[in-house]
Structure 1
Amino acid sequence: MSSTSSATEARTAAGPPAAPHGTRLHLRAAALGRPDATALTGVDVDVRPGEILTVVGPSGCGKSTLLRTLAGLLSPLAGTAEQDGRPIEGPGADRALVFQEDALLPWRTLRANVELPLAIRGVARAARRTQATAWLERVGLAAQARQLPHRVSGGQRQRAQLARALAGRPRAVLMDEPFGALDAQTRAGMQDLLVEVLHGTGATVVFVTHDVDEALFLGDRVALLGGGRLTAVRDVPRPRCRAAHDDPTRLALRRDVLTSLGT
């Protein structure tokens, strides 16, 4: 066996390969929604490669509409939605969606669900099984790999959905209140897990939530929606640091966000 083949096998056995560098997502003077129901107007936001941008706002303010536009599921009514300077014209394999409902295929085991994006990319069976197994290990589901989704808890299904999203090596991960249905303890654990498994992937993340504390823990920046507009994008001090919860600058930002949301 050649040294090149040996090195390739070693990399495969070591687990899932790193994702390519994160992508830039940009909405320019965009009106978002459906022709009979505009949700947002005049949206200008530049999501930087590799950052986590959290999006908060009251129910019905257009958070999910913004996310679906970046995913290519909705076209802007005006203005443009761009990825790396090119118009987004539909869904793409390098932009993964994670929903509040786990969206796992109920007839496939957790491992088979995680393998799905790899199969779509044409990855050979043995390689995709190795990679799926490695991702399940990373999210703490190695023992549940052969279980069907209805046999595991809601938190475990969300872990599997996260593994499936990242197994496809996306350049952007678009998350629509993925932890909203979980209890507080499970939710905090999923936030920490997300930070852990994203480390080193390089992926750009847009994370929609109605929970201000979640937005300020996860986000490098937080985008505020309200009144049919994007009202502000604010830098978050000491993101992804639990110890920063009582930091005066974080507390001041939290007050500003809550005020802007009218709560």
Structure 2
Amino acid sequence: MSALSFIRDYGDISSEDSDSPCEEITSKKLKLPPPNLSKVSTVLTEEHKDDPTLHAGRIRSFPHVRGNWATFVYVKYPQEDAVLHLINKLKDLVLSVDKSCQICDNIHLSLSRTVVLQYHLITTFTTTLQTALNNIDSFDLQFDAIELYSNDDNTRTFIALKADHFSKRYLLRISKKVDEVLKEFKLQPFYKEPSFHSSILWVNGNKKSNFEGILDQLNRILAKEIENNLRAVLIDRVQCQIGNKYFQFSLS
């Protein structure tokens, strides 16, 4: 019971005695001490304001709402020396076109869109996802091309490494399992024809046309790195980020 529920309004109290007609008893209002609210929990309402200047101009895709957690499923790519060496080579060329180029923080391949999950569903969602991924085989991941992408709201352009044909078969199988879970929770599934890729560089705005002229050069750099340094890597787990929480699901 809330402490505020102990506050009562006491009015005049009168009684009429049949043995003493016309006798009036006048009562005084009773004054109760103020309720002790020291142990009542309170929640402060905070207004979240998105400031693009704090994250290199990136714009939030959907507004921040308390209790809603941004969620996506992905495969993490180990940032080995060979990959970082390739990224730096590509960045030099991309910078010649757009000086605002940035290296992506987390090298990964998305297996879902970013969706909104309510806090109380986190445990059920992750448990369901683990069950769905049981008996999925681990596989070797390799890239074979560089592609240009823009996000759904055209606020960023990405230079990305595209997964090869053999990797795509495994990634497609996993993403279909993830889609089944998303549909069960009434969340938006992945793209109908996903292009599995790992974004490595980005610039603000939709500037795909700006980089089409150097795309062949970027792919020649990649081909040389694949020949000399960039090897296939074993993928034996799937990751899920929900807000600031991280979950891992092992593959067979």
TM-score computed with the length of structure 1 as normaliser: 0.23
Query: Which structure has greater helix proportion?
Result: 1
Q: Point out the structure with max Rg over C-alpha.
A: 2
